[in-house]
Structure 1
Amino acid sequence: MDQNIRKPSHRLTFEEAVEVQIRILRGELHSRIAPDYDVNAGRISEVKTGKIHHGSYEEALRRLDKAA
């Protein structure tokens, strides 16, 4: 088997993006969140800025408000 074949990293779902947004809002570092989802910190940044999974931030805020 060729050891140079790399498995692609995980594609975040919208639900995971909401979880990521909640963790960011709670102050966790991108570099600590990323390994939990098998992605790099750049992907976490894309979630934070809304480049991917637009609306996840608003949903995270809604869930945090509901939990309070």
Structure 2
Amino acid sequence: MKWTDVQEIAVQLTDAYPDADPAKVNFVDLMNWVMALPEFDDDPKHCGERILEGIQQAWIDELA
């Protein structure tokens, strides 16, 4: 899974952190949580604020 797999990352974050409120997760924690996902395999240098915003929004949408 790569940074661009925003929807799949959101699904896995929902499973991995069921009690987390994605709207309140800061981007440093979000980046670390994504990199800790078992299927994630991408370079941290490929991540930026725009990607993290997309992941956060997809995670919020996943819970809606």
Which TM-score band applies after superposition, normalised by the shorter structure? Answer: 0.3 to 0.5
Highest RCO, 1 vs 2 (Cα 8 Å, sep ≥ 6)? 2
Q: TM-score, normalised by structure 2?
A: 0.39
| Structure with the higher helix share, 1 or 2 | 2
Instruction: Give the number of the structure whose alpha-carbon radius of gyration is greater.
Output: 1
